[in-house]
Structures are given as structure tokens and as C-alpha cells.
Amino acid sequence: MENNTVKNRLRLNNQDYEVSITLYNTQGNAFPINAASILSLVIEESTHQWYKQGSIVLQNGYNVLEKRANEFTPPDLNYKFRNDGRDLLFVSIKPVVETNFIEQDAFESEFWDMLYVFTVYDTEDIPGNTPREKNLKLYFWETDYQLCTEINANWSTNEVLYELYPEYSGKSSQLPDLKRRVPTGLAIKSLITYALNNKVSSQKFSNEWDIGASKIFYTPTVESVVSTSLDFLVKRHVCSTREGDNSGDVGILFRNRYSKIWNLLSITSLLNKAVDNSRLAGDYQLEQFYIESTEANSVIIPSVPYTPPDPSKRRNITLGQLSTINNYQFVNMSAIDSNNMLVNTAVCTNHIGRKEFVMDLKENTIENVKNYFQQNYISKFKYALNPYALLALNKNKTESITINTVYSYGETKVERYPEGRNVMLESGLFLNECLTFTVPGSTLRQVNRFIGLDRSTGNIDNDFDEKFLGQWFVTRVVHEFSQTGYTNTITAVKPYASRNLKIDDEVA
């Protein structure tokens, strides 16, 4: 494959990039793609899915990608599509710098390089005015995800049970169901290993992998594929993180873009990486953005920063004009979401053997959820002296005039959190105030990290900046390359204000 790779040197946003894109049909037919034939390349990352996906549009006049130009053209110079999920797209995008005309690697690969093996899962023929103007659009996602959508999950949590207790090997059917349950975090790791170790390579897992406070005994149905079972287990997972008197946090599954290390972390653990113990930028605080201020109430004084600095200049870096926001879309939490998702929730279940009906309400009241949210999530943004949760309550919520009732099959109270408290915690974070903006592109940007937002010039003190400026958690990044440039569209959420804005929780 290396001999068939074409390394394009492109200059985008005053930065040199080494770009290599190759189509490969897994039977020796490789087709290096020249940058000049690429009309657009879009790669999308999201907090809500562990895999990356996107699309590429190629010039394909007269179907030249697959068709021989003449009888003198060797057949191997054209690509042969399989259309069975084995058409692969190798993508490597790496920023480089030249010093004294000698190329040097000045960027840490873990932060800056984009390295993927994608599978083409669909194609679209785009006609022009003439056959010469035809284009071809390829839709892709990561190959590991493609395998997970194909492989039937001939697996069960007994695989984990036998690893934990070798003496039970082959005897699990003699054990009661409660004895066969295993931590959900270990089940997730085992399923990923089962699906991908033999098909791709040995999977790597973070040392911070959350084993889980929840347990499960699970055997997929015959028609279930790995991706379906994996989604189910992640939804059932309750993190083992313990903060004060509260335990059982929401977990997020993701994979590092370059190293491909799998992570299963609680939201608390992720937010803990925003600010370090010295109130400096934490490990996941990547970049500092500035709002270009042209407002009438701007003042010619330095702006008071809302984002923690990093004296080492390795975190919370600023990329000049690439880190300048000229326009943005900002929305507060929707009242519809607040009134549907953030209300007291009664979680019910039956213990058939004990002939009991159980209802969990105390832990699932919105007041207790807000307290947990404040203590375990918002307190992590400790660069602000008094960070305060942006979750407004009212008497309809606190007095259960509005109430949700759900059913759970969880055996213990903690294992019933996914239907109650954890739904509200997740909603409180991801449905909170949201920011979307488009800026000149950089490969530094990625999801599950933090960006800082401040003003380039001073501004009159106002409540809006208390909730608008500061650290935002990135949930979506779109890298879009075209023949005219490279942009990022970034979406982020922010669940706190830098101080209490005195929104009354006692209104009727």
C-alpha cells in the first residue's frame, strides 16, 4: 500500500499539510487519489458515537475512476468497486512545518494528526450538464464500525464470567442469574475485543477505563449484531465514580483519533480534565477562542479572561486568526426539553420472586439531580470562583405537578439509574446552552475536549457573558476540505455560569 500512496502537499490557512488518500478494495487494487480531483472532503466527529464518518466528492467525468481511457491504459490503473463493505479509504492528514527548507515534525501526532481507515458504505452518482462533468460521492465511516454492523454477536457475558471466575467455566448454566452478572464496563470491553481483535488488530484500552457500578447478565438475540449490543450495554452502563455521597455517573464511550485507544469515562472524570488543581488549563483544555468584538459597548481595555491559562503553552493554545470567531449561533436550553426531561421521575420495577413492587423517587427528583449536577459536574469548572449550574426549576417541577413515570428491569437502585437520574444528568449537560460556529480549519479540533471562549476586548459587565464566556465542552466537529480552503464547524455545550445569576427556583 505504501508504494501506491500519493502524498499531496497542500497549504491551507497558512499551514502546510501532508495529505494522503487512497481507495483500496482489499484484493490488491489500490487507487491513490490526487488532491486536484477532490471537490470536497468532510470528516465528522461526535460525542454521541465512538466512530468517525463523512463523505468525499471526486471528479468522475465519463466514470474515469472505473473506466479505461483507451486500450493502452493498463486495467490496474482503474479502481474496481466491490460494493460489499470492503472498499476502504485510507486517509492521513498531517500538518508539517519547514525550517531552513528541512521538513521537521513540529506537531505531536496525538493532538494534530488525522489518521483513519474508512469503509465506503454508500455511493452517489452526481450528474452534471454533460457526462464530462459527472462527480462521484462516497459516504464512509470507520472500518471498525462497519465490522460491528456485520458481525453477529455470538457472545455473552459468560465470557467475562469465565475470565473472572475460571472455576465457573462450562458451569454457568448451573448458577442463578444473579450470580452470573458481571460489571457492565468489563462486558463492553469484552464485546469490543470479541468483535475486533481477530478481524483487525489487538484493541487498546485506556488505563482509566471505568469498570462500572452496574452489573448485567446478557446474551444477545440471534439476529443482534455487535453494534446493536454495544449500544445497549453502553446505555445500561453506570459508572463506578464516587463523589461524596453520590455514585453511579453517566458514561461516555469514545476512541482517541490517532492512537485508537478506547475510553469509557464518566462525565465527572471528563469534566475533571477541564481545569487542574492549580486552576490552570487541564489536560483536555485544547484551544482558546476569541470573539471579535465590534459592539458599541466594547471598551478599549483588556478583557477579563474566563478561561484558565497554561504557562507551558502546551494546552489552551491560540492559533491567531484561526482562533477568532466572527459569527456564531448561540441558543439557551429549550423550555420543551426542560419540561419534558428535567422533571421528577418515578422509576418503577417488580421483583417477581419476592412479589414486590418498587418505586424509586428520592434519587430521581430534579432537586437531587441538580445538587448532583452542581457538586459533581459544575464544581469541576473551578477556574470560575463560583460556577453555578444552569438548570432552572419551578414549583411544577419540585412539587411533582409535572412528573414522569418509567419502568426499569434493573436489579438494584444503581442499575435503575439509566432510566431515571442519569437520563436527567445527560439531558442537563447535552441539552444545555449550545454554541455553533465556523472558523478556518485546524486538525487540532476534536470532540470530548474543551475550548475556551473570551472576548478580544473588554466589555461592560453583564450577566450574559457570565454564562456565554468560559469553558465549553465540544460535542461535534466537522472538518471540511474543499478546493478553496479548509474549515471547521464546531458545536459545544456549556452547563454553567461563572456565578449565580439568581434565577429563582421557587416560581409557580
Q: What is the percentage of the chain residues whose pLDDT exceeds 90?
A: 77
Mean pLDDT, residues 175-189: 91
Q: Give the integer Cα–Cα distance in Å for 346 and 405.
A: 5
- Calculated CA dihedral for residues 401, 424, 502, 290, nearest 10 degrees: -150
Would you say residue 174 has pLDDT above 50? yes
Confidence of residue 102 (pLDDT cuts 50, 70, 90): very low
H helix runs in 290-420, sequence order: 335-341, 366-372, 395-398
> Comparing C-alpha atoms, which of 484, 447, 438, 479 is closest to residue 91?
479
Q: What is the percentage of the chain residues whose pLDDT exceeds 70?
A: 93
Confidence of residue 284 (pLDDT cuts 50, 70, 90): very high
Element (H, E) at 472: strand 470-482
The pLDDT of residue 59: 96
The pLDDT of residue 98: 66
Would you say residue 244 has pLDDT above 60? no
Q: Please, is 116 exposed, middle or buried when counting C-beta atoms within 10 Å of its C-beta (0-12, 13-18, 19+)?
A: buried
Mean pLDDT, residues 141-147: 97
Grouping H, G, I as helix, E, B as strand and the rest as coil, residue 252 is strand
Contact present, 311 and 458 (Cβ < 8 Å): no
Confidence of residue 320 (pLDDT cuts 50, 70, 90): very high
Beta bridge partners of 140: 54, 120
- Which of 294-298, 355-359, 364-368 has the least mean pLDDT? 294-298
More confident call, 448 vs 223: 448
Mean pLDDT, residues 218-234: 95
Mean pLDDT, residues 437-462: 93
Contact present, 459 and 299 (Cβ < 8 Å): yes
Q: Which long-range contacts (CB under 8 A, 24 or more apart) does 159-167 make?
A: 159/190, 159/194, 160/186, 160/187, 160/190, 163/190
* Grid cell at residue 23: 481507495
Confidence of residue 101 (pLDDT cuts 50, 70, 90): very low
The pLDDT of residue 2: 46
* Grid cell at residue 41: 472532503
Q: Per-residue pLDDT tens for 25-66?
A: 999 889 999 999 999 999 999 999 999 999 999 999 999 899
Confidence of residue 294 (pLDDT cuts 50, 70, 90): low
The pLDDT of residue 361: 95
Confidence of residue 353 (pLDDT cuts 50, 70, 90): confident
Grouping H, G, I as helix, E, B as strand and the rest as coil, residue 428 is helix
Q: Give the integer Cα–Cα distance in Å for 120 and 483.
A: 22
Q: Give the integer Cα–Cα distance in Å for 187 and 238.
A: 12
Q: How many residues does the chain have?
A: 508
Confidence of residue 312 (pLDDT cuts 50, 70, 90): confident
| CA angle, 413 then 418 then 423, to 5° | 125
> Comparing C-alpha atoms, which of 195, 178, 21, 18 is closest to residue 113?
18
Q: What's the pTM?
A: 0.93
Average pLDDT for the chain: 91
Contact present, 217 and 177 (Cβ < 8 Å): yes
